[in-house]
Amino acid sequence: MAANTVKSTEGIHCIANSNPCIKTLENDVLSVLKSSKRIIVLAGAGMSVSCGIPDFRSADGLYNTLDLEELGLNCPEDLFDMESFIENPSSFYKFAKRLYPGNVQPSLTHKFLALLQKKNKLLRVYTQNIDGLEVEAGVTSKKVVYAHGSLAVAQCLKCNLKFDAKHIATEVNEGKVPTCVSASRTVKKKGSLKRKGSQQKSNTMEDSNKRGEKNVSDLGTGTLSPKSKRLKRRAATRHNGTRDDLTSERSDDVEDEVGVDPKNYPNNNICGGLIKPGVTFFGEKLEDRVGKALEADREKVDALLVIGTSLSVSPMSKVLRYLPPSIPRILINRNEVVLPKMCADEIDSDDEEDTRDGYIFDASLLGNCDDVVKGIMCALAWKIEEGLESTTLAEPCGSDTGLTEVVGRNYFFPGALVVSLEEDEYEEEIVHCDGCRKKIATNVVMKCTQCFDFDLCYECFPKVSKKHYRGRHKFKSEKI
């Protein structure tokens, strides 16, 4: 789509807050919000821009404003790359300290999600954000699925201990790279757990050292041995928990409690491993909970809100084609969204055909997320203060919704951009095989047609597909 143009098949409906304009908004959007009881929200970075957190791809977004020299990065994408994090974790922590829990307050849009929950209209929030502001705003943690992980939790890459981010808050806010200070431990071997320094020290580790192999402590230096790579992969497995259910959680492979005082042990014997935030870095596979939650919610959802995201990162860009095409879809974003061709072409499910002709969303509310949400709430006469403390609107809106123009299915609010993303601006998809857990190097993958994100490489397909749901699920080849 060319710049400064708006795609429309129905022409201009109205301008400003005229009665026809409000009536159109009522028919296309407000009626859906009034009648729906099980809304799924796909949330993106645009929700948090008003909180002082930049989005990724806009002119003043993260990718265009990041000081690469200051952070020691070659390109913006390195900030969320696992290998780059291992080599230079200070880059990530210098940037991320402003996002950590307690340093940022929720926006009006975050509070709007909590209001949907209070009105018993919210089924689930699938957020691509890592700031945890949905829960801060009042959405219960059980209704939030972190597609890309959360800063609210962290994990030691050496001993695999998982814990609440508050344990590293001091170091992060001081710009330091946090390391694990719990009592030193080793990983289980064949059912036994041995502490370093004990008389039961494993001969396996000694033999490994004699052969010149590096042990897991190398994770703190950036040098990875085969063993430490295996541990790193296990440690990098995403966990979509929240502060409540992951506080002081520990891996099954370790003992002791989080926050153990190292002074209680001889020779100050502490772990010292590098701590990785609980976020999903580029190239990592989504945690199983994302797919399982979508598979369960698919049968319940009655409306979809896409807020503050261009849906340019897979596999979340495929959610639209996975959910039933019959449900209403509403977009709240600064600009229109164009799905990758593969997602747009295959948006029909096995059971239903998408009757939309030439469009994806039933209504696109274009503008700053907070301005759009404020307009919706004014039109619905909803008030944020209903049961939510200290979350009132900044000022009364009266009958002014902020809506300036309606063109086709596009509704324009303050901050709207009339330039759509081109298909080639979308992130290249990285797919991991759910059989061997390796990155699929070919451009074709065998995908389960009934699961949201279950993929197999050609090598694993013959055997694993027969075990997957006892062979009852169908697979199809798909280009990536």
- Tens-digit pLDDT profile for residues 69-116: 888 888 888 888 888 899 999 988 888 877 887 778 999 999 999 999
> Is 378 annotated as contributing to ligand binding?
no
Could you tell me if 413 and 464 lie in one domain?
A: no
Query: Residue 3 domain-assigned?
Result: no
Domain holding 176, by residue range, is 69-75+152-279
Q: Is 335 domain-assigned? A: yes
What SS3 class is residue 396?
A: coil
pLDDT at residue 372, as a whole number? 94
Residue 271 is assigned to a ligand binding site = yes
Per-residue pLDDT, 341: 53
1 inside domain? no
Q: What is the mean pLDDT of residues 133-138?
A: 94
Helix axes 369-380, 108-118, angle to 10 degrees: 40
Does 156 show up as a binding residue in the annotation?
Answer: yes
If asked whether residues 188 and 246 sit together in one domain, one would say yes
Domain end position, chosen among 233, 256, 279: 279
- The verdict on 295 and 259 lying in the same domain is no
Of 148, 167, 432, 468, catalytic: 148
Instruction: Give one DSSP letter per residue of 200-241, joined into a string.
Output: T--HHHHHHHHTT---GGGGGTT---HHHHHHHHHHTS----
pTM tops 0.95, yes or no: no
- How confident is the model at residue 385, as a pLDDT? 59
User: Regarding predicted confidence, which is higher, 137 or 79?
Assistant: 137
| Lowest model confidence (mean pLDDT) among 73-82, 413-422, 455-464 | 413-422
Angle CA 226–231–235, to nearest 5: 145
58 is a domain residue:
no
Strand 329-333 to strand 363-366: parallel, antiparallel, or no bridges (unpaired)?
A: parallel
Other CB atoms within a 10 A radius of the CB of residue 354 amount to: 17
Q: How far apart are alpha carbons 460 and 440 in whole angstroms?
A: 11
Residue type at 384?
Answer: I
Domain identity same for 415 and 293: yes
Same domain for 225 and 165 = yes
Q: What is the structure's pLDDT at 62?
A: 76
Q: Is residue 83 part of a domain?
A: no
Contact call for residues 240 and 143 (beta carbons, < 8 A): no
In DSSP terms, 95 is beta-bridged to none
397: domain CATH number? Answer: 3.40.50.1220
Q: Which amino acid is residue 473, in one-letter code?
A: H
Per-residue model confidence (pLDDT) at position 383? 77
Give residue-wise pLDDT tens across range 16-35: 455 566 677 888 899 999 99
pLDDT of residue 188: 44
Same domain (yes/no): 298, 414: yes
List the strands of the sheet with 149-156, edge to edge.
Answer: 162-164, 149-156, 275-279
Q: What per-residue confidence (pLDDT) applies to 452?
A: 86
Q: Which residues 6+ apart lie within 8 Å of 27 measured at CB?
A: none
For residues 408 and 291, state if they share a domain: yes
Q: 75: annotated binding-site residue?
A: no
Looking at per-residue pLDDT, the higher value among 217 and 44 belongs to: 44
Question: 244 and 226 share a domain?
Answer: yes
Answer with the residue of higher pLDDT: 357 or 148: 148
* 207 falls within a domain: yes
pLDDT above 70 (res 472): yes
Choose the most confident range, by mean pLDDT, from 266-270, 272-276, 283-287.
272-276
> Could you tell me whether strands 410-412 and 363-366 are parallel, antiparallel, or unpaired per DSSP bridges?
parallel
Query: Are 243 and 134 in contact, with CB atoms under 8 Å apart?
Result: no
- 84 occurs within a structural domain: no
Residue bearing tokens 């609440």: 164
Q: What is the mean pLDDT of the chain?
A: 74
Q: Is 148 a catalytic residue?
A: yes
- Domain match, 158 and 144 both: no
Q: Based on the fold, state whether residues 257 and 166 are members of the same structural domain.
A: yes
H-run or E-run covering 333? strand 329-333
d(CA 399, CA 375): 9
Q: What is the pLDDT of residues 157-188, one digit of tens each?
A: 888 888 888 888 888 888 889 998 887 655 44
- The pLDDT confidence band at residue 399, using thresholds 50, 70 and 90, is low
For the chain, the distance separating the N- and C-terminal CA atoms, rounded to the nearest angstrom, is 24
Domain final residue, candidates 279, 304, 322? 279
Q: Does 172 share its domain with 236? A: yes
Count of structural domains, the chain? 3
Average pLDDT of the residues in 196-206: 43
- What is the pLDDT, as a whole number, of residue 442? 82
State residue 337's pLDDT score: 87
Q: How far apart are CA 127 and CA 470, in angstroms?
A: 32
